[in-house]
Amino acid sequence: MRPFLTAVLGAALLFVASCSKDSSQCELNPEVARVQAPVQLERLEKPFFEIRTAADAQRFVQQHPLFANQFLQRKQFPSDEALAQYLVHLSTNKELQKLGRESAAAFPDATLEPGLQRMFQHVRYYFPAFRVPPVKTFVSGFSHDLFVNDSLMVLSLDFFAGPKASYRPNNMPNYILRRYAPPYLLPTAALAVSSKYNQREGTNPSMLGEMVQFGKSLYFAEKVLPCTADTLLVGFTGAEMAGVQFNESKIWAHFIEKNLLYSTAPFTIQKYMGERPNVPEIGQNCPGRVGAWVGWQIVRKYMSQHPNVTLAQLMAEKDPQRILSQSRYRPVRK
């Protein structure tokens, strides 16, 4: 197989296409605009940083029991007093207070709440029974980046404060760390919400199963965040996105020639689906998680071939082979 290449002119043109959405995609569909999805946004970092004593911390816990139970994992502490002491330790930390101010500046209410509302309007448009969870923001000291279930969403803003923040999440390689910046917050939230609906094949999944599974999540994210660049959804740099688009047929040929699609070996699957700086098996410039991107293209092709299939029906489909076969996915050599 020929090496993974990056054609400068062609890739640059593809990059422009991938990093922008046409105006029709970014205009709010009138039907979506009519969907009611009010956001209950509460900035918990504000009362959190007012904590000075154990009594303050206990009041904070009592006032926010759902947050304490689910996000702070209250039951993991030997007592509420121990949890209170832990919160005092965090809230009075000068470095964390500084990071809290930087995080608040990176995410003003004026931009965060409308973005969340538009995302939830789209989710409810496709899934009318979806219940918009109350949203809490917090500065966790890098314990959890995001939490979501049917009753609560918590966004740890310090994770996403970006490269100019005084402190960044520890022990992360740059190819992961660069995705912890403000533009990635909503895509990360959308991918998390997708897990509620994304049905999958049974145990011992294949490479194809994992590719399509992640591809469905990315397709969900692009539908509920229609103005968001592909680079932000999948977390590739512009150069990486340009490279995979230009070399799509070569990447697909690698999977076919190496008989990878039906492999169930975890180590093999991890090579193409897991976090890595690159996938040297394909080429030094081929980004990690390239299998997820290919799965996304398969799902996109499937949906273009079946315009009557709803997003809900796609997410409920458990058979990755059916999606591949009916997609007629055959990338053309450029």
User: Percentage of the chain surpassing pLDDT 90?
Assistant: 86
Do 300 and 206 fall into the same domain?
yes
Q: What is the pLDDT of residues 60-109, one digit of tens each?
A: 999 999 999 999 999 999 999 999 999 999 999 999 999 999 999 999 88
Do 45 and 136 fall into the same domain?
yes
**What was the pLDDT predicted at 263?**
97
Do 19 and 55 fall into the same domain?
no
Query: Which two tokens mark 302?
Result: 């499937």
Do 165 and 210 fall into the same domain?
no
What does 275-311 look like in DSSP terms, one character per residue? --S-BTTTBTTSPTTHHHHHHHHHHHHHHHH-TT--H
Do 168 and 61 fall into the same domain?
yes
Q: What is the pLDDT of residues 141-158, one digit of tens each?
A: 878 899 999 999 999 999
**What average pLDDT does range 233-237 have in this prediction?**
98
pLDDT band, residue 28 (cuts 50/70/90): confident
Do 165 and 259 fall into the same domain?
no
Which pTM was predicted? 0.92
Strand order in the sheet with 41-43: 41-43, 135-138, 153-156, 146-148
**What was the pLDDT predicted at 124?**
98
Q: Nearest CA to 155 among 129, 184, 128?
A: 184
Of 122, 140, 173, which residue constitutes the final position of a domain?
Answer: 173
Alpha carbon 195 to chain centroid, angstroms: 10
Tell me the chain's radius of gyration from C-alpha atoms.
21
Query: Which two tokens mark 262?
Result: 């039906």
H or E element at residue 325: helix 320-327
Q: Is residue 101 included in any domain, yes or no?
A: yes
Q: Is residue 242 included in any domain, yes or no?
A: yes
Please state the domain count of the chain.
Answer: 2
Do 124 and 96 fall into the same domain?
yes
The Cα 264–Cα 275 span in angstroms is 18
Q: Give the residue ranges of DSSP H helices in 6-161.
A: 8-18, 23-26, 30-33, 45-48, 54-63, 65-70, 80-91, 94-106, 109-126
Do 260 and 291 fall into the same domain?
yes
Do 219 and 241 fall into the same domain?
yes
Of 173, 208, 225, which residue constitutes the final position of a domain?
Answer: 173
Do 243 and 162 fall into the same domain?
no
- The answer to whether residue 10 scores a pLDDT higher than 60 is no
Of 173, 206, 238, which residue constitutes the final position of a domain?
Answer: 173
Q: Is residue 183 included in any domain, yes or no?
A: no
pLDDT band, residue 203 (cuts 50/70/90): confident
Q: Is residue 124 included in any domain, yes or no?
A: yes
**DSSP β-bridge partners for residue 22:** none
Range of the domain at 78: 37-173
Q: Count the Cβ atoms, other than its own, within 10 Å of residue 131.
A: 10
Q: Is residue 111 included in any domain, yes or no?
A: yes
Q: What is the pLDDT of residues 291-327, one digit of tens each?
A: 999 999 999 999 999 999 999 999 999 999 999 999 9
Q: Is residue 14 included in any domain, yes or no?
A: yes
Do 15 and 73 fall into the same domain?
no
SS3 148: strand
Do 17 and 52 fall into the same domain?
no
The Cα 45–Cα 47 span in angstroms is 6
pLDDT band, residue 166 (cuts 50/70/90): very high
Q: Is residue 125 included in any domain, yes or no?
A: yes
Cβ–Cβ under 8 Å, residues 67 and 152: yes
What does 215-228 look like in DSSP terms, one character per residue? HHHHHHHHHHSTTS
Angle, CA of 323, 124 and 208, to the nearest 5°: 20
Whole-Å CA distances, 47 to 139, 172, 246, 281: 11, 29, 49, 50
Q: Is residue 334 included in any domain, yes or no?
A: no
- b/e string for 14-37 if b means 16 or more Cβ within 10 A? bbeebeebeeeeeeeeeebeebeb
The count of residues in the chain is 334
